[in-house]
Amino acid sequence: MSGPKKKRRLVDTKEHATRARVAGFLRELGDRIESGSVVLRQGEEEVTTELPDALVLEISLDEKDKGERGLKKSLEVEVEWYEGPGWNQISLG
C-alpha cells in the first residue's frame, strides 16, 4: 500500500476586486462548471480541467477578530471531485 500523495497546487491567486467583479467572475465560473470544462489563465499560464457530473460543494463562512483592524470575514466556496475509475455513480452489475 502506498502512502499519502502530495498536494500540487495548479493555480494560486489573490486579487482585490469590487463586489460586481467577484459576482461576475462567479457567474462565469458557474457557467463553465455547468459546461463541464474550466480554463484558468494567469498571465501566459493556462490550466484546463474537466469536471464530472458528480461534485462535492463545500461552503464556509468564517470570521476572525483582527484587533484594531476589526473583524475579518471570509466566504469560501470549494468544489471537489475525484478523477479516475470508480469515482462516478455506483451501479450494480
pLDDT 10s digit of each residue in the chain, 93 long? 566 778 898 898 999 999 999 999 999 999 999 999 999 998 899 999 999 999 999 999 999 999 999 999 999 999 999 887 655 555 566
List the beta strands (DSSP E) in 1-93: 37-42, 45-50, 56-65, 71-80
85 in Cβ contact with 49 (< 8 Å): no
63: amino acid identity, one letter: E
Question: How far apart (Å, rounded) are the C-alpha atoms in residues 50 and 39?
Answer: 9
| pTM of the complete model | 0.78
Question: How far apart (Å, rounded) are the C-alpha atoms in residues 39 and 65?
Answer: 36
Could you state, in order of their start, the residue ranges of all structural domains in the chain?
Answer: 19-80
11: amino acid identity, one letter: V
